[in-house]
Chain A
Amino acid sequence: MSFDTRPAAFTVNGRQVEIEAAPTERLSHLLRERLGLTGTKVGCDAGDCGACTVLVDGMPQCACLMPAARVAGRQVTTVEGLASDGRLSALQAAFLRHGAAQCGICTPGMLMAAAALLSVNPRPAPAEAEAALGGVLCRCTGYRKIVAAVCDAWADAPRPAPVPAGRAVGAPVARLDGPPKVTGADVFGADRWPAGALWVHVIRSPHHHADFSFGDLAAWQAATPGVAAVFTAADIPGRNAFGVIPPFADQPALAVDAARFRGEAVALVALEPGAAEDFDATAFPVTWEELPAALDPEAAKSAPAIHPARPGNLLIRGLVRRGDPDAALAAAAHVAEGAIETAYVEHAYIEPEAGCAYMDGETLVIHTCTQAPHMDRDDTAVMLGLPPERVRIVATSTGGGFGSKLDISIQPLVGLVTLKTGRPARIVYTRGDSMRSTTKRHPARMRARIGTDAAGRVTGQVFDGDFNTGAYASWGPTVANRVPVHASGPYSVPNYRAEARAIHTNGPIAGAFRGFGVPQATIMQEVLYDQLAADAGIDRLAFRQLNALTDGESTVCGQRLSAVGIGACLAALEGPWSEALAWAADAPAGPVTRGVGIASCWYGCGNTALPNPSTIRIGVTAAGEVVLHQGAADIGQGANTVIAQIAADALGVALGAIRLVGPDTAFTPDAGKTSASRQTYVSGRAAEAAGRALRSAILRHANVAEGASLGFGQGTIVIDDGAARHVIDLAALAEGRDGYVFAAEETYDPPTTALDADGQGTPYAVYGYGAQIVELSVDTRLGTVKLHRITAAHDLGRVINPVLAEGQIEGGIAQGIGLALMEDYVPGRTENLHDYLIPTFGDVPEIHHILIEKPDPEGPFGAKGLGEHVLIPTAPAILNAIRHATGALVTRLPATPDRVLAAIRSKGA
């Protein structure tokens, strides 16, 4: 049966169109695929995320739920219709001004919902904006800046003045890649594809563990209309095993004979353009033989090994040991002991994985959303049996990543189809594909004991945790190594033993998720600190201040620290803490009780005790244009802007004069992965070095001393050293291999050392610090938690861009709220965005930020990383506040209403 179409005539963005479409075709599909209006994003195809919100006769609707036949004769407005004559609407401008768009994938939906509100209520109150936009999910921003932008859209704010040369660092500039995010012009993984591209459908295991065999694939293909090709593991020309950490590479792109988790890919069906709609995947000839599955890590320890070389399903054990913790605990005046269990947490970026591939001569080109273009290239090349230079990864804009888009997903699949067929191909994961097949945060089962002396000084700690790493290694080794290094928190712990084990199960693969296990471990440590403060009779903030690391003290790895910011963060919270305690004490009588909680974080930036270089190139064209080859993937966090700010000041050029290129493995040197809160620090250091090197080269050429000003443009560089103006005629200079008359490329690698058998050494060169206060109320009859306010103090060393920094803090807190209160991924049960819950507009409270600057000499302009730090304190602070409000500690996350009420009841029993 063909994809039956009929003409539908309607108006879109004021333009009359008549288009052939199936009557029940989703309007979102019609807009994107038939009209090329890809500003309307698809996050779920189920009305759960609101990203596809458009206006139909002025009313906001989910385009994914709208039959094409219904729009006949009606007016449809999409995000592309908001700007007029190339001028942004006031709402769009407000989004940029407030930093309301981070990755930008939800932004069109947000804008359309907001436009509908503003058309009837031009000056809404925050609560009105929240209610009107409540049907759109955002995973990056934490919503507060969106609310601020919507409520401020009426104000006719002047355009911000351009930032002068040398003043970019520290300036609250709007993100440089922001305008396309608010007009709908930005290109994400699913937004562009070559004409005639094959559509790649992935056949996946419906079972947690199963043997499988194929029927007669050739016969099935011949009998099935629209099938261009079928590929299985047998077709993979290279090594069918990938992994983010090469020694642990164990995951096949397409499984061989057995699937080890539900959602694992086993075959690819390449469909002719247009054939996907009528394709019936259930007819694919595969036979499954379900096998016993080990889903619980405790059971997995005695189950048959999922990988024969890893007996006991133990992937790796991480250990840090210092002093004599057993003796310290035996001698301690106060000892707190407990256990915490956390759940699988899904990244739930609003953009499911997507991309396309085509051959450019001998080179396989893959456009995809990613956090790690060079890693994608190298792993894809190995799997496809190509040298790395024959694979080119072009990073599209990435609609959120948070760790999961570090791992390979679509790259070898779409690449294999193009390599084998010679034809362009595209792939767009459904929400279900994305949730089933990509990585999660590790579920953790942790126990710890911490002791203090009579004065409340921590004398010893023992931590032990099993981290369910799922079917394949992914970032399990990183989590197992990071956790013991960080499980002390930013505190002085002289006697310490921490062990973390990554255990294989047939559950979803657990990999990188903002914090690599540290958020889980911090919950364990920080709830015990509240217990110890109570036992020692010390205020909870004062207890943390008493034990906070200071400059010159050593970590549990024996690393002597400098530029330690935790003390300043905690000191900055003294006032808010007193106010919060007063607010809690002032609760009205009744079943709703108030509580406040506090927790800290520290986090080492970059790889743990491993090389972790970034390279940045800057060039000047003969026309006088400054081009920054920026290979650090911007997944919404702001690398495109922050790296440019650093490079601009290092070079001495106005930020607005810089043109960005990349990330693209053909044009940008390897700036490493967007991970481990490393880009501002590591790629920033490389950008700083490249900027300074380029500046030196130019000054040397003109024989002018450092300190002169540079002016680029019109084929010249004008150098003014105060005494004289020197003009370099760029046309007279020879262009180098990259087409530049001046260029510099610099690499920076953090100075770390390997850890010894006891985990002693220098795992990181730079750490960031923070602490947060949560104020909340608990309805003690229902177990529901309502957040009132969060105050976050974070030490960034040097704030490169305060708007972006605040955005990171608010977004990280929102994810911490989800971890604490609602997120629980259950394979086979919560594989969508209505059963898997992430925070909405109404779940993220007012957030106050306090930005602390304790410069680290190792960081660019003193800057430290921030991206992961920000979510670490939130969940433990929430649990501590719930305990303050109710007297009950929830020990199994998320703290859903039933668990909170059960904790309250068991405390009373």
Chain B
Amino acid sequence: MLYERPGTLDEALALMAGGPAWRVLAGGTDLYPATTHQSLHGPVLDIAGLAELRGIAREPSGWRIGAAATWTEVLGAGLPSAFSALVEAGRELGSIQIQNVATVMGNLCNASPAADGVPALMVLDAELELVSATGRRRLGLSEFILGNRRTARTPDEIAVAIHVPEAAVRGVSAFEKLGTRRYLVISIAMAAARVEVENGRIAAASLAVGACSEVARRLPMVERALVGQPADAPVIDAAAVAEALDPIDDVRATAAYRREAAAEILRRAVLRAAWGAS
């Protein structure tokens, strides 16, 4: 079994450039459940120890969340209230055991339609920084996640950081998760809202809904309709929310239910965010 634990990002990228199709291991909370074996087979590149991927920090252009940052680190990072949705999502993600090792980046790279981290980062206009031996690029979250378990990462690239631009570090956000039990639950649907309030009215809104389409979606029409509404009683057009989504029937709920419930949890997220921003 091929396993490498490079000491630097450059070493990791060199391995990625020339080597086989590496499986990138960070938290491991998605790789291990996918096998019944007692170890991970195939070439494994363990990046969790790379110093370049660590940390959550404020930078001149915004916030950077390193690819090795765990959810527990996010919860303890003292992030501004624009990140509240991300923090609330983190508290509901798996269990404390999972949060202690699972990375935020891993949640994005796994690209599950039910990834709780995606809507919260979408409303922060998050970008991913991808690096290979030959270059470096940034992609918006919607450009990065292409479909169910599909991303734009090429086999030689490592996703090294999540960037939240300064312009999005404004207002207050909130996250609502809907599941069939209290803990350890895959979402039926989830919603994130980030709201800026001026003079008692919503000045800007960023909204996203997950688990109601192959990839979580922003809802620009609904966002625009919120601007100018009173912060203490915003009205969400449930039909517009339903129209913007493309849910499926599965064991967790029917598509029809998801359309209806998504609007309701989005409304609650907006209310809480607006209340917090007022």
Residues of A within 8 A of B (CB): 1, 3-4, 22-26, 29, 45-48, 50, 53, 59-62, 64-70, 113, 116, 131-132, 134-137, 276-277, 430, 432, 781-784, 821-822, 824, 826, 829-830, 832, 834-835, 837, 839-843, 896-898, 901-902
Contact = CB atoms under 8 A, between A and B. Distances in A.
B101 interface: yes
A784 to B, nearest CB: 7
A24 B25 contact: yes
Given A64-B32, A901-B261, A113 B178 contact: no
B8 interface: no
A69 B37 contact: no
B180 A837 contact: yes
Contacts of A132: 96
Interface stretch (B80-88, B208-216, B251-259): B251-259
A277 B257 contact: no
6 contacts: A24-B1, A116-B96, A135-B184, A277-B38, A430-B36, A843-B182
- Among B96, B256, B260, the one with the most A-chain Cβ atoms within 10 Å of its Cβ is B96
B251 A45 contact: no
B182 A840 contact: yes
Q: Chain B at the A interface: mostly helix, strand, loop or mixed?
A: loop
Given A65-B101, A132-B96, A841-B182, A897 B188 contact: yes
B95 A135 contact: yes
Contacts of A50: 95, 97, 184
Given A22-B39, A897-B257, A901-B260, A821 B98 contact: no
B246 interface: no
Contacts of B29: 47, 62, 65
Given A3-B1, A69-B46, A897-B188, 7 more contacts: A24-B1, A65-B98, A67-B46, A135-B183, A821-B180, A840-B185, A842-B182
A67 B33 contact: no
A606 B191 CA distance: 51
A782 B178 contact: yes
B28 A897 contact: no
A833 B26 CA distance: 23
Contact of A26 (B38, B101, B188, B261): B38
Interface in B62-105: 72, 94-98, 100-101
A782 B251 contact: no
Interface string B246-270: 0000011110110011001100000
Contacts of A59: 72, 100
B25 A840 contact: no
Given A46-B33, A277-B38, A897-B180, A23 B46 contact: yes
Contact of A4 (B1, B252, B265): B1
A138 B38 CA distance: 24
Nearest to A6: B3
Given A66-B101, A135-B94, A48 B184 contact: yes
B101 A1 contact: no
A283 to B, nearest CB: 14
Contacts of A69: 3, 5, 46
Contacts of B185: 837, 840
- List the 5 closest A-B pairs by CB distance, nearest first: A135-B95, A842-B182, A134-B183, A898-B257, A46-B33
A795 to B, nearest CB: 31
B13 interface: no
A277 B37 contact: yes
A99 B185 CA distance: 27
B271 interface: no
A26 B39 contact: yes
Nearest to A54: B97
B201 to A, nearest CB: 25
B44 interface: yes
A87 to B, nearest CB: 27
B40 interface: yes
Contacts of B260: 901
A209 B28 CA distance: 35
A47 B1 CA distance: 23
Contacts of A134: 95-96, 182-184
Contact of A47 (B33, B182, B251, B252): B33
A61 B97 contact: yes
A902 B3 CA distance: 51
A53 B40 contact: no
Contacts of A843: 181-182
Nearest to B49: A70
A26 B253 CA distance: 34
Contacts of A48: 33, 184
A25 B98 CA distance: 18
A332 B184 CA distance: 49
Contacts of A131: 96
- Among B44, B98, B188, the one with the most A-chain Cβ atoms within 10 Å of its Cβ is B98
Contact of B38 (A25, A46, A70, A135): A25
B158 interface: no
A137 B182 CA distance: 12
A878 B264 CA distance: 24
A24 B188 contact: no
B16 interface: no
B167 to A, nearest CB: 33
A821 B94 CA distance: 20
B48 A25 contact: no
A432 B252 CA distance: 19
B265 A782 contact: yes
B190 interface: no
Interface in B18-54: 25, 27-29, 32-33, 36-40, 44, 46, 48
A453 B216 CA distance: 57
B28 to A, nearest CB: 5
Contacts of B27: 65
Given A24-B3, A69-B3, A824-B251, A47 B265 contact: no
A26 B184 CA distance: 21
A135 B96 contact: yes
Contact of A24 (B33, B40, B265): B40
A35 to B, nearest CB: 14
A840 B3 contact: no
A843 B265 CA distance: 20
B245 interface: no
B236 interface: no
B257 A841 contact: no
A735 to B, nearest CB: 48
B199 to A, nearest CB: 28
Contacts of B182: 134, 840-843
B186 interface: yes
A48 B34 CA distance: 12
Nearest to A135: B95
B180 A135 contact: no
A897 B33 contact: no
B233 to A, nearest CB: 15
Contacts of A22: 1, 3, 39
Given A24-B40, A842-B183, A45 B33 contact: yes
Given A66-B28, A896-B180, A896-B253, A29 B38 contact: yes
B257 A902 contact: yes
Contact of B1 (A1, A837, A898): A1
A780 to B, nearest CB: 10
Contacts of A897: 178, 180, 188, 253, 257, 261
B1 A53 contact: no
A131 B99 CA distance: 13
A47 B97 contact: yes
Contact of A822 (B95, B101, B181, B265): B181
Given A822-B180, A843-B181, A901-B261, A835 B251 contact: yes
Contact of B28 (A67, A842, A896): A67
Contacts of B97: 47, 50, 53, 60-62, 65, 113, 135
Given A60-B97, A277-B37, A781-B264, A65 B184 contact: no
A802 B97 CA distance: 34
